[in-house]
């Protein structure tokens, strides 16, 4: 990096260490250190990797299930949430795509095959039809830049609050509205108060995800208070 470009410390976590690296100070200096084309490419690729691709994959699988009538198979394994409730672990999106394209797929030594339709033919999808479905899913998946606050390391105070919320959910505690605190109730209230944010993008209903959500909510409330005073 040129010594003429102003820099600022940027917090990064890697291999369990929180470190600070010097990066160009602000967008103008970032562009000056490279080029508008490179900055554009980096921002788009980052958002595709972190935010758009996961949403697109879910949309494609949903479209394939609707098109073929073939549900995503279970691996035969289960996982437990914090309440101890078990749920099935399904095969991956890539494995499911192979299944409906080829008629079968081997996952961890187990062969999964598609059922036959009424005519006795496998319920597969042609590559041509798949590409059409994929483009339709892409058209329906908006491109929205990944927000820094959706990927940031949560402040410790919000992490502590998130632990309390997870504990309340696990214990079935009653919230301020007189109803039990649940994952759904928290996400519903948070989403209503923080339009423009997608809770799933924060890391889901996990300690980090809830902590980021709480931090975003606090920033919103501070902004509202400031506005009320002027």
Q: How much is the pLDDT for 30?
A: 93
Q: How much is the pLDDT for 196?
A: 82
164: enclosing H helix or E strand? helix 156-171
**Gap between the Cα atoms of 61 and 56, Å rounded:** 9
Place of tokens 């410790």: 156
**Gap between the Cα atoms of 209 and 204, Å rounded:** 5
Instruction: Pick out the chain residues at pLDDT < 50.
Output: none
How far from 80 is each of 121, 163, 180, CA to CA, in Å? 37, 18, 21
**Gap between the Cα atoms of 61 and 73, Å rounded:** 12
**Gap between the Cα atoms of 165 and 171, Å rounded:** 10
3-state secondary structure of 79: strand
Phi, psi of 103 (to 5 degrees): 95, -15
Is residue 7 a contact partner of residue 23, using CB atoms and an 8 Å limit?
Answer: yes
Q: How much is the pLDDT for 8?
A: 93
| Range 185-193 contact pairs with CB under 8 angstroms and sequence separation of 24 or more | 186/210, 190/217, 193/217, 193/220
Q: What is the pLDDT of residues 58-97, one digit of tens each?
A: 999 999 999 999 999 999 888 765 556 678 889 999 999 9
Is residue 150 a contact partner of residue 202, using CB atoms and an 8 Å limit?
Answer: yes
């Amino acid at each position: 990096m040129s010594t003429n470009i102003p820099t600022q410390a940027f917090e990064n976590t890697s291999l369990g260490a929180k470190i600070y690296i010097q990066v160009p100070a602000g967008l103008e200096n970032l562009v000056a250190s490279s080029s508008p084309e490179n900055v554009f490419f980096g921002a788009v690729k980052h958002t595709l990797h972190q935010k758009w691709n996961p949403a697109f994959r879910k949309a494609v699988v949903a479209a394939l299930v609707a098109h073929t009538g073939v549900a995503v198979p279970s691996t035969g394994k289960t996982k437990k949430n914090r309440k101890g409730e078990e749920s099935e672990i399904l095969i991956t999106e890539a494995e499911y795509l192979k299944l409906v394209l080829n008629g079968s797929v081997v996952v961890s030594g187990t062969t999964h095959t598609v059922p036959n339709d009424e005519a006795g033919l496998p319920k597969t999808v042609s590559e041509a039809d798949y590409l059409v479905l994929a483009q339709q899913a892409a058209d329906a998946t908006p491109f929205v830049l990944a927000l820094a606050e959706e990927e940031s390391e949560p402040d410790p105070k919000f992490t502590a609050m998130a632990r309390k919320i997870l504990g309340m959910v696990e214990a079935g505690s009653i919230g301020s509205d007189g109803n039990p605190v649940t994952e759904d109730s928290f996400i519903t209230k948070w989403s209503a108060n923080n339009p423009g944010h997608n809770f799933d993008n924060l890391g889901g209903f996990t300690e980090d995800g809830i902590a980021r959500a709480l931090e975003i909510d606090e920033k919103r409330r501070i902004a509202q208070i400031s506005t009320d005073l002027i």
